[in-house]
A and B are shown apart, each in its own frame.
Chain A
Amino acid sequence: DQQVKQNSPSLSVQEGRISILNCDYTNSMFDYFLWYKKYPAEGPTFLISISSIKDKNEDGRFTVFLNKSAKHLSLHIVPSQPGDSAVYFCATTRGGGAQKLVFGQGTRLTINP
């Protein structure tokens, strides 16, 4: 099942710089997109989301961009902090009904001091 792909298994960024995590999807029926952060031995924690009617949503240091024509979304973290080191999952869902989430494989982000 390759409906949602995160092509970078890992990313290393200097503290204070921008972290950019990418996600591609194939199904144009997806209309809601989320980013989750996961620490070891914990469940995914919701970070930020965007609906398909928008192309940008910002929350503090986190901004999600959606390019529907390219079926691509990205998460920008600026400035990056050591506590941001975690695995980041993008997930998508279709509106209506029970709305199961379809996840990407995850990207391990490491912020170096």
Chain B
Amino acid sequence: EPEVTQTPSHQVTQMGQEVILRCVPISNHLYFYWYRQILGQKVEFLVSFYNNEISEKSEIFDDQFSVERPDGSNFTLKIRSTKLEDSAMYFCASRQTGEGIQYFGAGTRLSVL
């Protein structure tokens, strides 16, 4: 069964460093998303991406964040200068056009020290 894959599963970084979280969405999906879940809190939307551009972003997704689909298969989230409060689980999701079901990867746990 097709699935969304995310790497790495755990990323440890120093505050102020850049990190890139990687995702391979399901191959025939057209919409791509990043969500995050801070420990003990809700899963919250960061950004959606369609047709090679950002469709919507939340207030969390400030200038320190960027997304890219560098080729036909990968979808990346970059945090330019990490802060302690960026520590969270980051989930990538994708969906086909026409249906509302989003399929999630297993997540990347980002720990900023």
Residues of B within 8 A of A89 (CB): 43
Whether the Cβ atoms of B45 and A43 lie closer than 8 Å is no
Q: Are B100 and A49 in contact (CB-based, < 8 A)?
A: yes
B100:A34 contact, CB within 8 angstroms: yes
A40 to chain B, nearest CB (A): 11
Known: A97-B55, A99-B31. A105 touches B104 (CB 8 A): no
CB proximity to A under 8 Å, residues B21-47:
31, 33, 35, 41-45
With most chain A CB atoms within 10 A of its CB, the pick from B4, B31, B41, B102 is: B102
How many residues of chain B get a CB closer than 8 Å to chain A's CBs?
27
User: Main SS of chain B's interface residues?
Assistant: strand
Q: How far does the alpha carbon of A15 sit from the alpha carbon of B101 in the complex, in Å? A: 29
**Is A25 on the interface with B (CB-CB < 8 A)?**
no
CA distance A36 to B35 in the complex (A): 14
A54 at the B interface (CB under 8 A): no
A53 shortest CB reach to chain B, Å: 13
Using known A-B contacts A89-B43, A97-B56, determine if residue A43 contacts B104 with beta carbons closer than 8 Å. Answer: yes
Asked if A43 and B106 make an inter-chain contact with CB atoms under 8 angstroms apart, the answer reads: yes
Q: Are B106 and A101 in contact, CB atoms less than 8 angstroms apart?
A: no
- Contact across chains for A99 and B104 when beta carbons are under 8 A apart: no
A103 CB contacts on chain B under 8 angstroms: 42-44
Residue in A closest to B103 when the chains form the complex, CB atoms: A46
B107's partner among A32, A42, A97 (CB-CB below 8 A) is: A42
- Contact residues of A between 67 and 113, Cβ < 8 Å to B: 89, 91, 93, 95, 97-106
Chain B residues close to A by CB (< 8 Å): 4, 6, 31, 33, 35, 41-45, 48-50, 55-56, 58, 91, 93, 95, 100-107
Closest 7 CB pairs of A and B: A98-B55, A43-B104, A98-B48, A32-B100, A103-B43, A100-B45, A44-B104
